[in-house]
């Protein structure tokens, strides 16, 4: 009996996994709303931290949700600015102008050596995000 031949989808998946950056490479998306002072400050803060702490180990995409509203639902963005860490897994979301360097580093899990599976407590925790999402869903239903 011959081994099964992977179909195109399986091959594409395997190729994507093989091409994935290393575990120390960060893939980040910063969601902002237009050219507001808060958005500008968040962009400045994230770029500064990335250059200081992740030089050469990150990709940062800045996404204006006014220009790309399709990302709001797909990425479950409820507040801006929001920084989404796509890689390394698990995904993380950090909300606010990102001016608190310590909180940003903890959210990205850069400074303290914690494993990515240990989220810091506080307003960026999963429970807080779930509660905010539930509240927004209730508002949408009315």
At 4, which helix (H) or strand (E)? none
Cis peptide before 81 (omega within 30 of 0): yes
Residue 80, in any domain of the structure: yes
> pLDDT tens for residues 113-133?
443 434 444 444 455 555 555
Provide the 3-class DSSP secondary structure of residue 131.
Answer: helix
Residue 58, in any domain of the structure: yes
Q: What is the CATH number of the domain that holds 137?
A: 3.40.30.10
Residue-number span of the structural domain to which 68 is assigned: 22-141
Residue 85, in any domain of the structure: yes
Cα–Cα distances (Å) from 80 to 37, 55, 95, in that order, read: 12, 25, 7
The predicted pLDDT at position 119 comes to: 43
Question: Strand 92-95 relative to strand 58-64: parallel, antiparallel, unpaired?
Answer: unpaired
The predicted pLDDT at position 117 comes to: 39
Domains identified in the chain, total number: 1
Residues 103 and 49: their CA atoms lie apart, in Å, by: 11
The predicted pLDDT at position 118 comes to: 41
Question: Residue 91: which residues within 8 A CB-CB, separation 6 or more?
Answer: 84, 85
Residue 12, in any domain of the structure: no
Residue 45, in any domain of the structure: yes
Residue 14, in any domain of the structure: no
Residue 133, in any domain of the structure: yes
> pLDDT tens for residues 77-127?
999 999 999 999 889 999 987 888 888 888 888 654 443 434 444 444 455
Residue 125, in any domain of the structure: yes
């Amino acid at each position: 009996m011959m081994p099964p031949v992977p179909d195109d989808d399986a091959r594409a998946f395997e190729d994507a996994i093989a091409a994935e950056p290393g575990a120390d490479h960060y893939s980040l998306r910063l969601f902002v709303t237009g050219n507001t002072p808060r958005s500008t400050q968040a962009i400045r803060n994230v770029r500064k931290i990335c250059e200081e702490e992740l030089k050469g180990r990150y990709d940062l995409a800045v996404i204006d949700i006014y220009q790309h509203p399709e990302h709001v639902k797909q990425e479950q963005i409820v507040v801006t600015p929001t920084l989404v860490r796509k890689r390394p897994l698990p995904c993380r979301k950090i909300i606010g102008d990102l001016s608190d360097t310590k909180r940003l580093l903890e959210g990205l899990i850069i400074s303290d050596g914690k494993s990515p599976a240990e989220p810091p407590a506080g307003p960026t925790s999963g429970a807080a995000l779930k509660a905010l999402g539930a509240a927004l869903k209730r508002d949408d239903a009315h």
